[in-house]
Amino acid sequence: MAADWFVPANEIHRCYDSWGLIQVFDDGNKRYLSFGTTDEQSCLLKSKPAQLQHDYSRAMAALLTLFHVEQAPQQITLLGLGGGSMARSLLDWLPQAQINAVDLREAVGRVARQYFGLPRDPRLQLTFMDAGLYLETHADRQCQWLISDLYLSTGLDQQQLHEQFLDRCHRHLAPGGWLVLNLWREHREHGDWLNQLKVRFPTLLHNTTKDGNWIIWARKPAPGERPLADSRTIREQAQLWSERAGFNLWQVARPFLKHYGG
């Protein structure tokens, strides 16, 4: 979450919970979620609700280009709900997937339902609690894809930069599963943390988007795992995924692969 923004939009809803302000804006074409700052937490294009709008969210979703459409992850944990853009898109693109979405704020879930059209779907389970605590208490519910997109009104949820959080993510992932993290570009300078990430997830691909988000794809090792597909195969898979996503996923994924020798 959290993209810099300023748009001439009307506020159509505001509410408060224990963590502060939640606002919804609408400019007629798009709808936005904010936590009372100049940062935009979610964006919905009302004419295409399943199409991701932010560069950072597209970069997180572009991990799918590493999979053939018939071998896509089926068990997904999403840390950070926001307006539900990622959850909604994945439900649309992955009809067989089961998604467990976790958010600290129950009020955010209500807003996502009411103002952003987050569907009530048996494939989507919502849990409202701290993300780190969820990982600790649900370690046995291993997933194939863990997406961590944790932002508060004050900025990045700092627990993502702790070794304990990385350990919890590692345990929550099935062997061969992928962790996707959304951080800021300045976190690239956290060398000790990055080294700890590499110890747990030796296969590491990353890119910084033009809006300043640092997106990381990290794979948990698995016995006898195969190397990533070659770039030609990934490009072919990206074409298939792009038809579902409504944007060019190869263009988004290519920067992640520039230092990969597969």
DSSP 170-218: HHHEEEEEEEEEEEEGGGGG-HHHHHHHHHH-SEEEEEE-TTSEEEEEE
State what percent of residues in the chain have pLDDT above 90.
86
The tokens 């979405």 sit on which residue? 101
pLDDT for residue 261: 55
Euclidean distance between CA atoms 177 and 72, whole angstroms: 11
Quick check: helix, strand or coil at residue 87?
A: helix
What is the C-alpha radius of gyration for the chain, rounded to an integer number of angstroms?
A: 17
Across the range 145-164, mean pLDDT stands at 93
Across the range 58-85, mean pLDDT stands at 97
Mind listing the pLDDT tens digit for each residue in 103-122?
Answer: 999 999 999 999 999 999 99
With a cut of 70, say whether residue 174 has pLDDT above it: yes
Least confident stretch, 13-17, 57-61, 152-156: 152-156
- pLDDT-derived band at 233, boundaries 50, 70, 90: very high
With a cut of 50, say whether residue 156 has pLDDT above it: yes
pLDDT for residue 157: 92
CB–CB of 183/218 below 8 Å? no
CB–CB of 107/22 below 8 Å? yes
With a cut of 70, say whether residue 82 has pLDDT above it: yes
The verdict on pTM exceeding 0.85 is yes
Quick check: helix, strand or coil at residue 28?
A: coil
CATH of 50-257, picked from 3.40.630.10, 3.20.20.70, 3.40.50.150, 3.60.21.10, is 3.40.50.150
DSSP 97-155: -EEEEEES-HHHHHHHHHHH-----TTEEEEES-HHHHHHHTTTS-EEEEEE--EETTE
- pLDDT-derived band at 6, boundaries 50, 70, 90: very low
